[in-house]
Amino acid sequence: MPIEWTGSGPDLLLQVDRNRPEPLRDQLERALRESIRTGRLATGERLPSSRALARDLGISRGLVTECYAQLQAEGYLVTRGGSATRVAAAAHPPAAASPTPAADQPLRVDFRPGIPDLSRFPREQWSRALRRACRDAPNELLACRDAYGDPTLRDVLAAYLRRVRGAATDPGHTVICAGYAQGLQLVLRALIDEGVRVVAFEDPGDPDQRAVATMLGLDVVAVPVDERGVDVAALAATDARAVVLTPTHQSPTGVLLAPDRRQALIAWATARSATVIEDDYDAEFRYDRAPVGALQGLAPNQVALIGSVSKSLAPALRLGWILSPPHLAPAVAHYKQLADRGSPAIDQLALADLIESGHYDRHLRHVRQRYAARRTALVEAIERHAPAVDLGGLAAGFHTVAHLPVDADEQDIIAAGRRRSVGLYGMSAYRFDHNRRPAQLVLGFGNLTPAAIGDGIESIADLLQPS
């Protein structure tokens, strides 16, 4: 379907050359034919009026009218009374069918982890915050010159993260970024400037984060995670001078970094002049106790805390923050300036408004209750339909780990689930060694209703039973 351009008439890039011996009308006809044949002008697309095109090209309107009439006679254009001149359907013969890969069928139930309840994005509150930001923003703000980010948002975030995450915050060392992925890149680039060449990652852990480090030319080493979090002794045995962690709710296993390992980790970072990059991805959603404070609050000079609204609001907002160690902050801001000249100023002000007004806290309380209900629905569905499966990592967030029977084949179960229109995701994708066992599924439930959760588990229950 062609785009319906609004206004008095769409602009069209065509050229005529008065210095050429070819008549102007012939040049114009040839240019229009070529634009239609090559698909630059699509079937049904509206052309400029003869008056507008004549004015733009500096030629007579009569010449354009004659050109349009000729192309209409040839079947390239069509004109109806009271309507604009458009490209005729017959001007574009159907293209020969080319083989294309078959698209995946839409999933009836998708247990994809890491997706929040998108239906509960606070559209009304966000739109009001945007309107207030547009209305009240000073003209100077629209220049978007501060690579650190809008001062108002940095002040609001400093107060908020002190209050709810126990973070040691300083607006002067805070950089606003386009979500966690960019924040990680910025911090790693700053660390490379300081001579860091080896970065450790949790195993299992997010493969995309490891890919970012590899893309930047860093050597990546694995550090195992057990039921008490990352193995700090194994970390100390590596050459790493930086480590990327999810200490509050390890992704994907869901374990909490034990208190003694927190202390050991800080001691390691201090002794080695190393940096801990803390991924604070879903700390707002804890069910067994009050949220655990950020590791950064214990050692702000050693820990770079990166957070975002991707889990709390929606990934599409692309807004996050870096609480940087003081010595890294100028380099982090410098690379942010080079990357994109700063995050969108109006969106930053809207987020500051949403937090300061209390709407952000109210939204989190509301969705936390919904996730708790979905967590309960998942536990009950497993107990009812697949009681042999143990669930882990349920203390926080909106995903769980399903421990499959010892004889289960993870990839076979995932493939069989997809044939039943149920999306399943395996732990092997998070491991450095994809062939390692045991077989486990990472089940996300944030964007599923309790009814869909029950339906999905019932559909695959037989796949989860011991053979």
**Model pLDDT for residues 365-402, shown as the tens digit of each residue:** 999 999 999 999 999 999 999 999 999 998 889 999 99
* Mean pLDDT value across residues 211-238: 97
In the predicted model, is pLDDT for residue 426 greater than 90? yes
Q: How far apart are CA 330 and CA 346, in angstroms?
A: 23
Q: How far apart are CA 74 and CA 205, in angstroms?
A: 63
Confidence (pLDDT) at 89 = 85
Confidence (pLDDT) at 120 = 95
In the predicted model, is pLDDT for residue 98 greater than 60? no
Could you tell me the residue ranges of all domains in the chain? 1-99, 109-115+363-464, 121-361
> CB neighbours of 157 closer than 8 A, spacing ≥ 6?
169, 171, 174, 321, 352, 355
CATH T-level fold of 109-115+363-464: Aspartate Aminotransferase, domain 1 (3.90.1150)
Confidence at 59, pLDDT banded by 50, 70, 90: very high
* Mean pLDDT value across residues 280-290: 82
Confidence (pLDDT) at 366 = 95
Confidence (pLDDT) at 2 = 59
Cα-only R_g, the chain: 29
> CB neighbours of 178 closer than 8 A, spacing ≥ 6?
318, 319, 320, 340, 343
* pTM to 2 decimal places: 0.86
Q: How far apart are CA 154 and CA 175, in angstroms?
A: 8
Q: How far apart are CA 81 and CA 131, in angstroms?
A: 42
Confidence (pLDDT) at 9 = 59
Confidence (pLDDT) at 253 = 95
Q: How far apart are CA 303 and CA 312, in angstroms?
A: 22
> CB neighbours of 71 closer than 8 A, spacing ≥ 6?
29, 32, 33, 77
In the predicted model, is pLDDT for residue 99 greater than 60? no
Phi-psi region of 273 (alpha: psi -120 to 50; beta: other; left: phi over 0): left
> Where is pLDDT greater, at 138 or 219?
219
Confidence (pLDDT) at 145 = 76
User: Per CATH, the architecture of 1-99 is what?
Assistant: Orthogonal Bundle (1.10)
* Mean pLDDT value across residues 109-128: 96
Q: Which of 82-86, 145-149, 211-215 has the highest mean pLDDT?
A: 211-215
CATH number of the structural domain 121-361: 3.40.640.10
* Structural tokens at position 267: 């001691």
> Where is pLDDT greater, at 235 or 139?
235
